[in-house]
Amino acid sequence: MTAHSSSSSVASAERSAAEAAAPHLELMRQTSPSALRRKSASVGLLLLWLSDDVLVHLNKQLAPHGMSEKKFDILMLFGLAERGLLDVSVLTPSYIAEYFDVTRSSVTGLLDWLEVRKLLARKSHAEDRRSLVLELTPTGRQLLNDALPDFWSGCESLVAALTPQEIAVFQGLLAKIWSHLKGHGAAGAQEPAKARSRR
């Protein structure tokens, strides 16, 4: 659940963010442990809210193509594999689950949705005829190619309020948060199997 602002100016947006967070920050003051860095927690809270808004924004961009961001991510992964841009050419549910850092059952549901709509199809494995693998259909490939420009435009528009200099700084900060959440630091060195995980 997110707090939304309809204000157009940066100053108003900042005030609106502060106003939206005010009750939560008071609750934090009343209930948080004394060692909590409240400023850091308040920024984390805003980041959590914005993550929901990011998905809403991208889902609107993809809606004309009948896709959500989660489903489109799976379709795009097959496009990456088809173009030789991944470390594998055949995608298995296990690989997809590890790549997105989600459960196998979540991936199965998304794959079934894409297959029912004939965006993916099963075929015999090239090396093991007893095994079946999924691949893009011509319809799925066309949808992917049609939707990608809108997807990239949606990604660009997420940071439209920032200057090029701010974007460069923000990119560095996001990369630092990414590494922290993915455990790519000292803790991550103990889990090499997760290195290819995108999310």
**Residue 124, SS3 per DSSP:** strand
C-alpha pair distances (Å), 67 with each of 42, 53, 58, 89, 141: 33, 17, 10, 24, 14
Burial (CB < 10 A; 0-12, 13-18, 19+), residue 114, is buried
Q: Are 136 and 144 in contact (CB under 8 A)?
A: yes
Phi, psi dihedral angles at 121 (to 5 degrees) = -140, 150
Q: pLDDT in tens for each of the 199 residues of the chain? A: 555 544 444 444 556 788 889 999 999 999 999 999 999 999 999 999 999 999 999 999 999 999 999 999 999 999 999 999 999 888 988 899 999 999 999 999 999 999 999 999 988 666 655 567 899 999 999 999 999 999 999 999 999 999 999 999 999 999 999 999 988 544 444 444 444 555 5
Three-class secondary structure of residue 136 per DSSP: strand
Query: Which amino acid is located at 151 in the chain?
Result: F
**Candidates 1.10.10.10, 3.30.930.10, 3.40.50.2300, 1.10.150.530; CATH matching 67-158:** 1.10.10.10
pTM value > 0.95: no
